[in-house]
Amino acid sequence: MNGPSGTMTKRATVGDVAAHAGVSTATVSRVLNGGAVTDATAAKVWEAVARLDYTPNALTKSIFAGRSSTIGVVIRDLSSPFYLDLIRGVDEVAAANDSLVLLANTFRQVDREVAQVRTMDEQRVRGLVVTTGETTDGRTRRMAESGTPCVVVARTVRNPPPRLHSVSLNNRKAGRLMARHLAGCGRSRVGVITSGSRQSQLERTAGLRRALAELGLPLPADAVAVAETETEVSHALSSLVAGARSRGTPLDAIVCTTGRLTVAVHSALTARGVAIPDDMAFLTMDDFPWAAALGITVVAQPAYEMGRRAAELIVERLAEPVKHVFDPALVARTSCGEARTGHSARD
Amino acid sequence: MNGPSGTMTKRATVGDVAAHAGVSTATVSRVLNGGAVTDATAAKVWEAVARLDYTPNALTKSIFAGRSSTIGVVIRDLSSPFYLDLIRGVDEVAAANDSLVLLANTFRQVDREVAQVRTMDEQRVRGLVVTTGETTDGRTRRMAESGTPCVVVARTVRNPPPRLHSVSLNNRKAGRLMARHLAGCGRSRVGVITSGSRQSQLERTAGLRRALAELGLPLPADAVAVAETETEVSHALSSLVAGARSRGTPLDAIVCTTGRLTVAVHSALTARGVAIPDDMAFLTMDDFPWAAALGITVVAQPAYEMGRRAAELIVERLAEPVKHVFDPALVARTSCGEARTGHSARD
DNA sequence: GTGAAAGCGCTAACAT
DNA sequence: ATGTTAGCGCTTTCAC
């Protein structure tokens, strides 16, 4: 049962400490958790704790509390910079609240999502942050109902029960920021690379299309190409470019609606010998450390803040469902060329 | 005790399931964990489980097992790409072994390190992966001795007890690869930016210096500057460049021994108007997604594999301490200019 | 095959 | 101020 053996010194328990200090287990518990005790007994107990190298079992403690002191985070794709910053935010407030982060990466597989969320439930996490799709909604609802605060990231839930919150981005505004910036830089024929049919992706494209239309710039359906993975990007880009050219309206801007594919889109562009921004403007989601060096203009999400807020919602334990929508911000660099007219990035 | 309230449906326990199925708790446990039971009783139990939406309490289970099914990971700096890949590796094999990752970021603060490792111990993690400094060695030793496999990353431990393993990089070889590549590209006056006095940093610089010396290229002490944080990089670079110039031997290569500072060094170089590789070769540690786009040559660490191996060591539970040293690999791009002579990247 | 009872390590009433 | 007793939710003998 114990695998390849080796000398193992067994761990001390409250009982051991009590025995060595000549007191009861209740007293030990009191000195450890701050009850009313004499300095003398406290000293004896601490001495025993030190000598036995006693380390309390947090698992057992959690049984009484009904739940662990851990915040669960289920991430779809741990390689995306957005999620890394999100986790940092969660971890930051978790640490400030004596909690640890219990992490699970689902590698974008639905069956894993369901299993991981279930596992988090079994672990009796203090709260749960999920970036998964609707498949897991049934369980998160029940978790929230039975007392575990849950926060859905980048998606909203219709008719949420108590304690089921959401933290998301104003995606339509993100699209709008993109449209206005592009127009301000004199671009009029934009092609979009988007990732599947997640709510956030759809809304960004919708916001972009709407704002473009208001500026008199149509975004035909075939100017939007879907790429689920990095390997599909090159093909998506080709069809976009070829399609537009055959229609006699060659593109002068490429928008990428997900930070996850920024590298892939950029390298596909480069591979085709496209000069940015001279041949083509390039605008993408999510700021990242190298963006400045590369001069890539982005619409940034406050990922770190979103993580912080998610964790705060868990710690606060409000019954009332909170729906926190964050604002995106355009970070203008050089990948869309010079702005023609002075325009505001505000709203 | 329960914060702002709201209707909370209480959770079902084995007892509830037993009652609803008309059996004992022992039988419920048997059905759930695969004991000898009649198909008929099994059916009754499963039915009750479904109707009550019973979700077993993993915390309580862990009490019997003596430890949780969680792998602890204490990270110094969650914003470093190396650690992100490491975590992905750990998570991958954790998931394959019915474990979750319990994560803690120490924000490079020693006191937090100590506290987090202790917390991991209290959580009775199945095993622990630490990337922290020697401050935590005392506890990791004791943890290993009392049965928790521990893996130290990027550092080795002298005279380890059973179950205290290490996963690291052959740092001297990393330095050697750098030296040979630089020499192969015709560079002879290199300046180094390194981060503090961690074992790995020291070894990389030592390996670089030694290999450079073998090639007849000295690396004077003042050609090595220390930058702990990103903000210190600019200053370090300036002193390096100015010092070399005043000595009449202007630098023709900059080496950065930590991936964490790659962005900062690169941007400091750019800010000074230094052309890479024409004015200066640039060589750094750790591969990253944008390196190809930027043409930056790196010495890569197999971070993901290292994470996998660390988790494997935990799952395997060998008593004998394992010290796994990984080989670095040079990924040649354009930031050091053209290679003058055909040289091998091997050894 | 199934149940009753003991107990994992700890805390939380009750007593004293 | 301290000890005793009863659990928390689950597994695991040990009888039947």
Q: What is the pLDDT of residue A339?
A: 75
Secondary structure letter of residue B134 according to DSSP:
G
| C-alpha distances out from residue B241 to A205, B234, B238, B279, B296, Å | 48, 11, 5, 12, 20
Reduce the DSSP state of residue B346 to 3 states and report it: coil
CB contact under 8 A, A294 and B292: no
For residue A163, is pLDDT > 50? Answer: yes
Amino acid identity for residue A240 in this structure: L
Residue of A87, A99, A134 lying closest to A306 (CA atoms):
A87
Domains of chain A (ranges, CATH numbers): 14-56 (1.10.260.40), 71-169+303-326 (3.40.50.2300), 171-301+329-345 (3.40.50.2300)
Adjacent-strand bridge partners of B70: B100
Q: What angle do CA A179, A183, A185 make, to 5 degrees?
A: 120
Residues A323-336, mean pLDDT to the nearest whole number? 98
**Six token digits for residue A51:** 């000598």
Find the nucleotide nearest B12 (Cα to C1′): D9
Q: What is the pLDDT of residue A168?
A: 98
Q: What is the pLDDT of residue A345?
A: 46
CB contact under 8 A, A59 and B59: yes
Of residues A4, A266, A317, nearest to B317 (C-beta): A4
Q: What is the pLDDT of residue A340?
A: 66
B164-187 pLDDT, tens digit per residue, is: 999 999 999 999 999 999 999 999
Amino acid identity for residue A311 in this structure: A
Residues B323-335, mean pLDDT to the nearest whole number? 98
Q: What is the pLDDT of residue B341?
A: 56
The Cα B186–Cα B280 span in angstroms is 11
Is the CB of residue A105 less than 8 Å from the CB of residue A117?
A: no
A33-89 pLDDT, tens digit per residue, is: 988 999 999 999 999 999 999 999 999 999 999 999 999 999 999 988 899 999 999
Find the nucleotide nearest A10 (Cα to C1′): C9
Residues A290-294, mean pLDDT to the nearest whole number? 96
First to last CA, chain B: 62
A169-183 pLDDT, tens digit per residue, is: 999 999 999 999 999
Chain B: closest CA distance from residue A335 (Å): 14
Q: What is the pLDDT of residue B338?
A: 81
Q: What is the pLDDT of residue A347?
A: 45
Neighbours of A344 (CB within 10 A): 7
For residue B156, is pLDDT > 70? Answer: yes
Amino acid identity for residue B114 in this structure: V
The Cα B242–Cα B130 span in angstroms is 39
Q: What is the pLDDT of residue A204?
A: 98
For residue A338, is pLDDT > 60? Answer: yes
**Six token digits for residue A201:** 């992706």
Percentage above 90 pLDDT, chain A: 91
Taken in order A114, A106, A122, A68, is the CA torsion positive or negative?
negative
Residues A133-154, mean pLDDT to the nearest whole number? 96
CB contact under 8 A, A70 and B95: no
Q: Going by C-beta distance under 8 Å and a sequence separation of 6 or more, which residues neighbour residue A304? A: A85, A86, A88, A89, A92
- Give the per-residue SS3 of chain A: CCCCCCCCCCCCCHHHHHHHHCCCHHHHHHHHHCCCCCHHHHHHHHHHHHHHCCCCCHHHHHHHHCCCCEEEEEECCCCCHHHHHHHHHHHHHHHHCCCEEEEEECCCCHHHHHHHHHHHHHCCCCEEEECCCHHHHHHHHHHHHCCCCEEEECCCCCCCCCCEEEEEECHHHHHHHHHHHHHHCCCCCEEEEECCCCHHHHHHHHHHHHHHHHCCCCCCHHHEEECCCHHHHHHHHHHHHHHHHHCCCCCCEEEECCHHHHHHHHHHHHHCCCCCCCCCEEEEECCCCCHHHHCCEEEECCHHHHHHHHHHHHHHCCCCCCEEEECCEEECCCCCCCCCCCCCCCC
CB contact under 8 A, B6 and A319: yes
A253-269 pLDDT, tens digit per residue, is: 999 999 999 999 999 99
Pick the residue from chain B with its C-alpha nearest to A163: B6
Q: Going by C-beta distance under 8 Å and a sequence separation of 6 or more, which residues neighbour residue A346? A: none
* Residue contacts between A and B (CB atoms, under 8 Å): 169
Find the nucleotide nearest B15 (Cα to C1′): D9
Q: Count, in order, helices (H) and strands (E) of chain B.
A: 13, 12
CB contact under 8 A, B104 and A104: no
**What are the chain A neighbours of B51 within 8 Å (beta carbons)?**
none
Percentage above 70 pLDDT, chain B: 96
Q: What is the pLDDT of residue B2?
A: 41
Chain B: closest CA distance from residue A181 (Å): 25
Amino acid identity for residue A8 in this structure: M
Q: For A311, phi and psi rounded to 5 degrees? A: -65, -35
pTM here is 0.94
Chain A: closest CA distance from residue B102 (Å): 4
Distance, CA of A151 to chain centre:
11
B318: burial class by Cβ within 10 Å (0-12, 13-18, 19+)?
middle
Quickly give A125 CA vs C5 C1' distance in Å. Answer: 31
